[in-house]
Homo-oligomer: A and B are copies of this chain.
Amino acid sequence: MRFTSQTSSGDVTEQLFTLDGAFGEVPGVLWTPAGAEGARALILMGHGGGQHKKAPGIVARAQRFAAECGYAVAALDVPGHGDRPKTEEHHRIIGELRSRAQTGGNVTAVVAEFHALLSTQTVVEWAAALDALQALPHIGPGPVGYWGMSMGCGLGVPFLAAEPRIRAAVLGLNGAETSAQAAAQVKIPVEFLVQWDDELVPRAASLALFDILASTEKTLHANPGKHAEIPAFELDSTLRFFARHLT
């Protein structure tokens, strides 16, 4: 893990880093409270499809996790996203998604194929990132949470099924098609967000994914609005959910 830059904004320090992974270099970002010393909880965030490690929705949440809760927060570019090259396979699938979306075709099977392809890498890369991050003196081996919506949920579910260090997760905006088998192995507390009028994920598929999660404590929050219209008060709820389970 090599840090390549460090900036501070208000109460939060942002460090860009590069991780040498099994599938090439992985660009990442770490947010910590300014002047952080000693062990603290860590939240790993998975960005959405077509987005990247510093997408506005990631940054806004990470700032609050770090500034208000004192957590360390990290996000990595998913293969084919952000600063990472797309393979021929990525281009083929994204082309198929675009063409189906334009013709009103069913994109679900293609999204599921894409998530399955990507998660074979992200499960390995995110575990390696946890190793490296928890070796840092201002993070250490504290409790770990995961936050991921949409593709961040589709890739997060197989990660949670494979990674015993995660204690609690906020997931959502994704259906059962891409991760049903893995979801049945998830037993940690989950807060699961559904947009009631999601134009990309069928309501029934979202409810089915929540249903499959094997967690004893899981709580579904559904709100009116489209895919990207999660109401602001849900971020307050996310902070309380992590505070309940990571501290």
Contacts and interface: CB of A to CB of B under 8 A. Distances in A.
Interface of A: 194, 196, 207, 210-211, 215-224, 231, 233, 236-237, 240, 244
A231 B191 CA distance: 13
A26 B36 CA distance: 60
A221 B224 contact: no
A192 to B, nearest CB: 9
Contacts of A231: 217, 219
Contacts of A216: 224
A216 B216 CA distance: 31
Top 4 nearest A-B pairs (CB, nearest first) are A220-B222, A219-B223, A221-B221, A218-B224
B223 A221 contact: no
Nearest to A236: B240
Contacts of A207: 207
Task: Name, among A216, A220, A240, the residue most crowded by chain B CB atoms within 10 Å (CB to CB).
Answer: A220
Nearest to A194: B220
A216 B218 CA distance: 25
Contact of A244 (B221, B233, B240): B233
Contacts of A210: 222
Given A196-B211, A211-B196, A223 B218 contact: yes
Contacts of A237: 237
A220 to B, nearest CB: 4
Contacts of A224: 215-218
Given A217-B224, A218-B224, A237-B237, 15 more contacts: A194-B220, A196-B211, A196-B220, A207-B207, A217-B231, A219-B222, A219-B223, A219-B231, A219-B233, A220-B221, A220-B222, A220-B223, A221-B221, A222-B222, A236-B240
Contacts of A219: 221-223, 231, 233
A196 B210 CA distance: 10
